[in-house]
Chains A and B, each alone.
Chain A
Amino acid sequence: MIIAAHGEAGARLRDFLDRRRDDIIGSWVETGFFGEAAGDAAADVRADCENVLTALSHVVETGNLHDPAAEPFQEIRALLGGLAAQQARQGNTAAQITANLTWLKEPVLRLWLDEQPEGQQRTEDVLALSAALDTLRLVVMETAVTEGADIIAHQQQQLAEMSTPIIKLWKGVLAVPLIGTLDSMRSQAATESLLQAIVDQQAQVAILDITGVPAVDTMVAQHLLKTAMAARLMGAECIISGIRPQIAQTMVQLGIDLGEVATRASLSDALAYALNRVGLSVTPAQRG
């Protein structure tokens, strides 16, 4: 059943929401949904309640009860997103946050039922009010989910950036110790930060050390190769080090060819090669 509030009913409900504004806001503040209303925050919490109530009252007036994309709801999206994010940080799931919204619904319906005489009109109006509040829940759920996805994407990116340190081994020589499973996002982040570091430090040689990578499949090998080719286009050289014997065997079995990219078994071999490339050699110190 679709409940619509048109003209008269819309005006009646809007009048109710406006008339009982203070009562509704009072009960909403008490629910704690909008946050702790103590001290300095009290005014903010009240303002948030007012904004949500204003949107709700516009929605019932226009009769657009079932559309989460309705204009008045759109206007409070950022506000609802903020509230959802705040609750998410307190450890609430999107489902819990949405469930908590029943706290807003009950007092409004109760106030309406208390003041209206029984009859067909009271029932229809309460259904309309309920529908609008349910749609508000949908909007909150939508923003909570988007908010959650944003937080996850943000954390993934932080992780990707965090897990690829670029180490300067010598003037002109960089090393990236790759550790753990390389997914496409992490390897892309590693490539981008390495290439940027090559420019920033004018490094002629970069060592990609895969000692800490458990397995090298075709994807990972392709990526290492692409990184080396991009570095070469920029005027630097990549060396891949830390290729363990079993990884070397797997690579041969998979038919992976690293082409012209220099490879070394250990990081120290790679460093010796790199120093040679930048025109340096390591000799025993003269004692005397």
Chain B
Amino acid sequence: MTTTAASRVVQVSSEMDIVRVRQAAREAAVEAGFSLVEQTKLVTAASELARNTLVHGGGGQVSTELTVQQGRTVIRMVFTDSGPGIADVDQALADGFSTRGGMGLGLGGAKRLVDHFAIETGPDRGTVVTISSAARRGRRR
């Protein structure tokens, strides 16, 4: 059984919006009953990806939604931009690669912090990154 709660969308066009994306991720993680470490991982991944959306994608939007799958709450975040896209995804995911400062760990690092990571991109096609994570532990009661 899958039920979907209303999704929340944050427009990303300034640095302040990166903070808003972090807050949206935090609120969703708290609602989904994530442990503190799980919350921190998701928020950090969201921060990396939102910065990519702003800096590389020239802005875009981030949607956050909670779904319940087989009794587990799953958080799904989608980062969409219509920027120049990424020509070589494998290279972008590899540690150490960066076209702009950072430690080149934006994409690859974010991927390691979440359960599922998917990217759709290509030259001049924009970029859509989808991540999802579920609380690992049983619900506390």
When the two chains form their complex, are residues A153 and B138 in contact, meaning their CB atoms are under 8 A apart?
Answer: yes
When the two chains form their complex, are residues B139 and A149 in contact, meaning their CB atoms are under 8 A apart?
Answer: no
When the two chains form their complex, are residues B139 and A150 in contact, meaning their CB atoms are under 8 A apart?
Answer: yes
When the two chains form their complex, are residues B71 and A149 in contact, meaning their CB atoms are under 8 A apart?
Answer: yes
When the two chains form their complex, are residues B138 and A192 in contact, meaning their CB atoms are under 8 A apart?
Answer: no
Question: Scoring B residues 119 to 141 as 1 if CB is less than 8 Å from chain A, else 0, what string do you get?
Answer: 00000000000000000111111
Query: Which single residue of chain A is at the shortest CB-CB distance from B36?
Result: A192
Q: Quick check: is A222 within 8 A (CB to CB) of the other chain? A: no
When the two chains form their complex, are residues B136 and A185 in contact, meaning their CB atoms are under 8 A apart?
Answer: yes
When the two chains form their complex, are residues B70 and A157 in contact, meaning their CB atoms are under 8 A apart?
Answer: no
User: How big is chain A's contact interface, by range?
Assistant: 10 to 19
Known A-B contacts A146-B70, A146-B71, A192-B37; the reply to A153 vs B1 at CB < 8 A is no
Within 8 A of A (CB), among B1-42: 1, 35, 37
- Tell me the interface secondary structure of chain B in the complex: loop
B103 to chain A, nearest CB (A): 15
A151 and B139 CA atoms in complex are apart in Å by 9
Question: Scoring B residues 64 to 98 as 1 if CB is less than 8 Å from chain A, else 0, what string do you get?
Answer: 00000011000000000000000000000000000
B42 to chain A, nearest CB (A): 15
Residues of B within 8 A of A146 (CB): 70-71
Query: Which single residue of chain A is at the shortest CB-CB distance from B139?
Result: A150
User: How big is chain B's contact interface, by range?
Assistant: 10 to 19
When the two chains form their complex, are residues B1 and A157 in contact, meaning their CB atoms are under 8 A apart?
Answer: no
A157 and B137 CA atoms in complex are apart in Å by 7
A157 and B70 CA atoms in complex are apart in Å by 19
A192 and B136 CA atoms in complex are apart in Å by 14
Known A-B contacts A69-B1, A185-B136, A192-B37; the reply to A154 vs B141 at CB < 8 A is yes
A185 and B70 CA atoms in complex are apart in Å by 20
A97 and B31 CA atoms in complex are apart in Å by 32
Q: Quick check: is A156 within 8 A (CB to CB) of the other chain? A: yes
A154 and B136 CA atoms in complex are apart in Å by 11
A78 and B99 CA atoms in complex are apart in Å by 52
Q: Quick check: is A152 within 8 A (CB to CB) of the other chain? A: yes
Question: Scoring A residues 105 to 142 as 1 if CB is less than 8 Å from chain B, else 0, what string do you get?
Answer: 00000000000000000000000000000000000001
Contact of A157 among B37, B71, B138 (CB under 8 A): B138
When the two chains form their complex, are residues B70 and A152 in contact, meaning their CB atoms are under 8 A apart?
Answer: no
Query: Which single residue of chain B is at the shortest CB-CB distance from A157?
Result: B137
When the two chains form their complex, are residues B71 and A150 in contact, meaning their CB atoms are under 8 A apart?
Answer: yes
A151 to chain B, nearest CB (A): 8
Cβ contacts A to B, 9 pairs, < 8 Å: A69-B1, A146-B71, A149-B71, A150-B139, A153-B139, A157-B137, A157-B138, A185-B136, A188-B37
Q: Which 5 A-B pairs have the closest CB atoms?
A: A153-B138, A154-B138, A146-B71, A157-B137, A150-B138
